[in-house]
Structure 1
């Protein structure tokens, strides 16, 4: 594994000191990032009951057949057979829920990294975000949890700058905000 992007004794899922109190623009990333970078985007409105947030995009997906079935999106862009992995007693041979989460988390975090780095004028050529999603179990009951490890590759940035940007991207990533306090998330540099 690479070096942890946080400094000091921070625990996973906490805010690194170098990130606290920094203002880097609107507090969102992911859907709408491209529009913001182009200077286009929806007009500000009253929101949809989620605090002061305005809905920029809604993704809809359906799953049938438990962990062996199909997952589809309403627009037909995603239509996958899914199967439980062999490691969990399934047949394997198709994507599984943990892989889908890993891919989605990597894409969302990468969008946040591009937005934050772009605002700082940092070259993101060759930037990449790798994720590892672990399904964990405690005891003999049905006590399951998810953990996410994020590895940031920002080869055109100095190491200190890359660490700062990774911390800021984490704080602005909507997926991190959604799981904060409930999922063990670690961010490190490659």
Structure 2
């Protein structure tokens, strides 16, 4: 896989203090959160964690991509939702890795068309493009 060249439209800037057990904030002040590992990883679970932030970004971005392809297909997806489940665990090499399960709920669209739209959105979504070939991403239509 080659590095993708893009025409930059926007750059988000965030700074972390103390890694997974500290604080993350954006340069514009719109996001300022305490981060803490989940209890399952030895943390208190008192704050949010990077996996939740990744899931939030991926689900929002994928929903946007779904809207793009639905408009091109002239398909009404109003009331649709996208859930991203981001899991973290140990890799066989001794490091840590992620996997993502995307679940789209598209009411009033038949299952075959919904599946087609989700697969097309997966080709358009920047998060999907960034993770393709790097982590396991599964797609499901509810």
What is the RMSD computed on CA atoms of the aligned residues? 1.4
Q: Which residue of 19, 22, 27 maps to 1:74?
A: 27
| TM-score under structure 2 length normalisation | 0.93
4+ runs deviating over 2 angstroms: none
Match of 2:83 in 1: 130
SS across alignment from 1:182: coil
> Which of the pair has the greater relative contact order for Cα pairs under 8 Å at 6+ separation?
1
Greater Rg by CA: 1
Match of 1:111 in 2: 64
CA distance in 2, matches of 1:143, 1:66: 16
SS across alignment from 2:15: strand
1:154 deviation in Å? 0.7
**What per-residue deviation string (whole Å, max 9, x for no partner) do you get for residues 16-66 of structure 1?**
xxxxxxxxxxxxxxxxxxxxxxxxxxxxxxxxx953x21111111111111
CA distance in 1, matches of 2:134, 2:116: 24
**Structure with the bigger percentage of helix:** 2
Number of equivalenced pairs:
140
Match of 1:167 in 2: 119
| TM-score under structure 1 length normalisation | 0.71
1:186 paired with 2:130, answer no
CA distance in 1, matches of 2:31, 2:91: 33
CA distance in 2, matches of 1:50, 1:105: 19
CA distance in 2, matches of 1:128, 1:54: 29
Unmatched 5+ residue regions in structure 2? none
